[in-house]
């Protein structure tokens, strides 16, 4: 008989299921007989324990498991008969009224997957990120690499400016009392890199070796040091040395320092250009993908299962604890992290997951083996031994599945771009690389 499915609210449904007590007891007795073959008890040989004793010691637990198994089977049969797609696990409620004698009846309350209606992709407005990589961008990258390998030369009488390495003594006090971490001697840092608080760097700029300054510094309320957070300290600094950065010349030695074994500057520049182009491609694609997903999600009006959102929130909590553990935070695995912190993100991920899944099925966008291999080869090109990287990914199912997911998203993006209203958005190189 077709089960009666009640619609409660939104995606929530309810089905009545029942099991016969006789079937439960039959299962209990069968399990007791199985247990009796190897059961042990003081004063009895193995397998010779009286059934009455086993019933007293084991029947309750066996009966509990038998009921759960029978209810589970009944629920699966009801779901299969109804043709429903269940999202999450059902919640069982005992039915107490109108239940025939010899029967256990329950209400199974659960959620179903929504019917996902895809938007008309031709109406979507998408911004496609475009970034040019030319000689100027290559030179900018070379300059960064030179700065990373800078040596410093002390200059007498030089007023400190950004990029200089300044060595100084400092002492901080709050209400005239020194505090932990507020004192250092011969402390070096590169000015302008944001290593120190802005007020500190402002005070150092323009000072020469041998000069001192006293200034107030207000610690932010969210500062890492709880003892000083939100308080104002008085700092005394004395500059010991101001050293000017000396950048390496772009020559054979510089090329070798960057892994170009032949010391060929032209090959080095070609490699840098290739690396930049791959990185820019990946980053602009990520921006474009976000634009596609934003456009899709704005068009989505269907309900999403709460169970899937809760599961996603819990996954985010576990990921957050794992990250804290990696950082060395004590007892990170027990740290209370409210799951509802991730609700908005979880709802977006679940909604997008349902949308993308439907689009993939309708438009046949499943990743092809040759696409997966091409993506792996593109990724491997960033490594010294690309062939080994390719082999590693192709031989590892989990890694390959990860790449398949990336290719699937790429396919969705390209499909959307082929039919949507697309506007190219010029993104400056520094901005797309995060160096602006």
Q: What is the CATH number of the domain that holds 101?
A: 3.30.70.1050
Distance CA 141, CA 271 (A): 12
Do 94 and 170 sit in the same domain of this protein? no
Residue 69 near residue 2 (C-beta atoms within 8 A): no
As a whole number of angstroms, the distance between CA 122 and CA 297 comes to: 15
Q: Where are the alpha helices (DSSP H) in 83-185?
A: 135-148
Q: Give CA angle at 277 (271, 279), nearest 5°.
A: 100
Question: Helices then strands (H, E): number in the chain?
Answer: 12, 11
Establish if 314 belongs to a structural domain: no
81 and 128 fall within a common domain: no
CA angle 58, 62, 65 (to 5 degrees): 150
What are the backbone dihedrals phi and psi of residue 78, each rounded to the nearest 5 degrees, phi first?
-65, -40
183 shares its domain with 35: no
Report whether 149 contacts 142 (CB < 8 A): no
What is the structure's pLDDT at 82?
A: 83
pTM: 0.72
Interatomic CA distance for residues 320 and 316, integer angstroms: 6
Task: Quote the pLDDT of residue 2.
Answer: 63
Query: Are 286 and 396 part of one and the same domain?
Result: yes
Q: Of all residues in the chain, what percent are helix, strand and coil, respectively (each to 5)?
A: 50, 20, 30
Residues 99 and 179 in one domain: no
Residue in this structure with the two tokens 């977006």, named with its chain if needed: 348
Mean per-residue pLDDT over the chain, rounded: 89
Query: What is the distance between the alpha carbons of residues 83 and 159, in angstroms, rounded to a whole number?
Result: 78
Q: Report the distance separating Cα 106 and Cα 396, nearest Å.
A: 45
At 30 the pLDDT is 83
376 and 282 co-located in one domain: yes
**420 lies in a domain?**
yes
Class of residue 238 by CB neighbours under 10 A (exposed 0-12, middle 13-18, buried 19+): middle
Do the domain assignments include residue 78? yes
- Predicted pLDDT of residue 349: 92
Same domain, 126 and 203: no
373 and 287 within one domain = yes
In a domain, 401, yes or no: yes
Helix (H) or strand (E) holding 203: helix 198-204
How many beta carbons lie within 10 A of that of residue 86, not counting itself?
18
The answer on 97 and 125 residing in a single domain is no
65 falls within a domain: yes
8 A C-beta contact, residue 422 and residue 121: no
Same domain, 39 and 161: no
Same domain, yes or no: 154 and 85? no
Number of domains in the chain: 3
Residue with tokens 């629920």: 75
d(CA 62, CA 140): 72
Q: Which domain holds residue 181?
A: 150-246
Q: What is the CATH number of the domain that holds 412?
A: 1.10.3120
Task: Say if CB 422 and CB 128 are below 8 A apart.
Answer: yes
pLDDT tens figures, 312-330: 999 999 988 888 888 888 8
The answer to whether residue 255 sits within a structural domain is no
Q: How far apart are CA 241 and CA 37, in angstroms?
A: 86
Q: 271 with 128, same domain?
A: yes
Measured distance CA(296)–CA(413) in Å, rounded: 11
What integer pLDDT is reported at residue 434 of this predicted model?
83
Would you state the pLDDT for residue 340? 87
Q: Please indicate, yes or no, if residue 406 is contained in any of the structural domains.
A: yes
For residue 392, the tally of other CB atoms under 10 A from its CB is 14
Q: Which residues of the chain have pLDDT under 50?
A: none
Compute CA 29 distance to the chain's CA centroid, rounded to the nearest angstrom: 49
**Residue 436 confidence (pLDDT):** 62
Cα separation of 337 and 228, whole Å? 25
Using an 8 Å Cβ cutoff, are 32 and 56 in contact?
Answer: no
pLDDT score, position 1: 54
What is the spatial distance between Cα 176 and Cα 185, in angstroms, rounded to a whole number?
19
Contact status, residue 77 vs residue 1, Cβ threshold 8 Å = no
Structure tokens at 195: 């290593």
Q: What is the pLDDT of residue 19?
A: 82
Domain CATH number, residue 207: 3.10.50.40
> Does a structural domain hold residue 359?
yes
Alpha carbon distance 141, 125 (integer Å)? 33
């Amino acid at each position: 008989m077709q089960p009666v499915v009640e619609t409660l609210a939104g995606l929530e449904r309810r089905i009545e299921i029942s099991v016969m007590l006789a079937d439960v007891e039959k299962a209990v007795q069968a399990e007791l007989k199985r247990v009796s073959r190897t059961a042990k008890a003081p004063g009895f040989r193995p397998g010779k324990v009286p059934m009455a004793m086993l019933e007293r010691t084991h029947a309750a637990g066996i009966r509990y498991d038998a009921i759960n198994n029978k209810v589970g089977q009944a629920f699966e049969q009801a779901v299969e008969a109804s043709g429903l797609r269940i999202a999450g696990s059902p919640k069982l409620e005992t039915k107490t009224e109108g239940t025939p004698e010899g029967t256990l009846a329950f209400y199974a309350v659960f959620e179903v997957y929504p019917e996902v209606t895809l938007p008309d992709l031709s109406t979507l407005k998408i911004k496609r990120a475009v970034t040019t990589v030319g000689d100027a961008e290559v030179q900018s990258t070379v300059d960064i690499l030179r700065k990373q390998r800078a040596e410093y030369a002390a200059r007498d009488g030089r007023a400190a400016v950004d990029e200089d390495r300044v060595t100084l003594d400092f002492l901080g006090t709050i209400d005239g009392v020194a505090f932990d971490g507020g004192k250092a001697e011969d402390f070096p840092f590169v000015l302008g890199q944001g290593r120190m608080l802005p007020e500190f760097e402002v005070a150092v700029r323009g000072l020469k070796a041998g000069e001192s300054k006293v200034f107030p510094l207000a610690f932010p309320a969210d500062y890492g040091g709880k003892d000083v957070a939100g308080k104002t300290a008085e700092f005394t600094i004395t500059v010991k040395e101001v050293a000017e950065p000396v950048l390496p010349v772009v020559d054979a030695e510089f090329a070798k320092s960057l892994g170009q074994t032949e010391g060929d500057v032209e090959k080095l520049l070609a490699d840098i250009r290739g690396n930049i182009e791959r990185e820019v491609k990946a980053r602009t694609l990520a921006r474009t993908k976000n634009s596609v997903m934003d456009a899709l999600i704005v068009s989505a009006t269907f309900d999403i299962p709460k169970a899937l959102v809760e599961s996603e929130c819990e996954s985010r909590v576990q990921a957050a604890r794992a990250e804290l553990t990696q950082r060395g935070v004590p007892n990170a695995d027990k740290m209370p992290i409210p799951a509802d912190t991730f609700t908005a993100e979880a709802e977006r991920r679940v909604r997008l997951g349902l949308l993308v899944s439907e689009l993939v099925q309708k438009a046949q966008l499943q990743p092809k083996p040759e696409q997966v291999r091409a993506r792996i080869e593109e990724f491997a090109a960033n490594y010294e031994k690309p062939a080994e990287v390719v082999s590693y990914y192709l031989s590892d199912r989990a890694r390959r599945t990860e790449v398949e997911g990336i290719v699937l998203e790429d396919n969705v993006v390209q499909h959307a771009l082929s039919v949507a209203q697309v506007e190219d958005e010029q993104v400056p190189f520094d901005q797309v690389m995060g160096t602006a």
